Structure 1
């Protein structure tokens, strides 16, 4: 990069010029390998970073379809759709079966919203547990078996609900979205199942508030975004240091860093796509993005596959049932609904089944 005072040199795993096709980016970035790791039970994340208009959303999703009757050309599909296709192809050839599910989140003004849930968006709580790390409570997840189904489902919410048509040219500054695919490979009862994740994160524009021209409510939104990206940058800077020299990593400084904690410094595998503009007017932001990516490249993780034993799965399901029962009881009390009287019927000659789980026969 040629700057006014000196030339800056950066080294990355792969560099694509403006003429690179979507297929070349998919194959050259290692995206196919990430999908295979997710099937093997690893937590994988790819996130796009850069200023507004640099091509983050296009790289991940390609151009948005005008309508169902006018889909985007196959050659223009982004990393997400191509990954969907590869996972679906794997599911058809997997002898033990491969179940695929997806979730879709938005972080807006430090609130986590579920974009798949019907009705107006509402904030979901972000929890932490020793076994799961940070996770979104009550997040909706949907199963899918075809590329058309998952693409239609995600693209119908591709424009965030917080998006204002009056400032449409600033949409990259306004929001950040995360799409997570969960491949699960069942195994024989004696072996643990493999459950991985493949998470796509479309970060908001990295430019400073004064450069967005935002004011009032929009300025508040832009400030929240800048705080999130600064928190992410701080975590990356600390993680880039040798393990012996690292201090506490402040993942809790923002919702974004909490959700990316496992991907950045835990047991996950992460791909960062740094998007820059060729315009000389954007030189300052270009250098900022490249420095950001250069620090991220020095971060190392210790990937571990996620194996779920039958006993652990049953325990998790039982815990979820207990939580749902408590929520149901609370709602009934709030609505002042009387409990329906029940009677127990004993069938002679039928021994009781203790601890039986109908899902396993």
Structure 2
């Protein structure tokens, strides 16, 4: 019997970072970022001061080294690093092969990890999955973009970020954020309070994302002046929206007639983003979702982008993706 090849000895590398403060941010609270890399790549990671010792399979050690260096460059550029950013950088590296050349030799990784990004006044948001990367690029290129898929994949968050960036750069005069309120029929009359008090709870996710992208005083001024409008879908009827960024969220709960009405609001110099989850339709039985119909009807128009996400693109928390997959396997919906 031919002799068995000897197992390759573990590789050991020590990475040093000049700025102790940035190194602390890179490692994460209680070294959680390093622990995540250790678990995902199967390497031993030990932090001592501003040094990190890596031990394990040669390819994995080299990948961990390049990943840490890439994330450190993001910090040097003034960006923030969260555990989600570490996970996103790993996903993007795996999908794009940015950490290694075809010959297997390590190569430099740009600060963004090669992923598309959206820059707002408060933060820069880099794509964390290949689907997010394609989505951001579509938002930058197309005037009308559909994004479908489960909750937690970043559809709405990235759309609001892109819209806020266009407003900040002066490429749009107005930002209009809309959702079907309460349910597809928008039966607001049964709720207490004036119109704003009736609809605000259903538009709160859009407000939350907006405040995450722009300074609060900027948002308040925009809402007061009308530069930023957050309104239920019913308020779109009869309007033509020019030089605006218009986002329709939870579009799966639009009827076919409502969707047609919304799509025909697109005016000169405007961009329109429509997001929703076709598996979460709350319309009455027998009534077809306007989102599902529109994606099917418009899929062959080259000027329209349709981006699709799945459970593998969930970027909230590690457990969320597992929970979504578990419910999907059982055939139940996840809110």
TM-score of the pair, normalised by structure 1: 0.23
Per the normalisation by structure 2, the TM-score is 0.24
Which protein has greater RCO, CA pairs closer than 8 Å, 6+ apart? 1
**Whose helix proportion is higher, 1 or 2?**
2
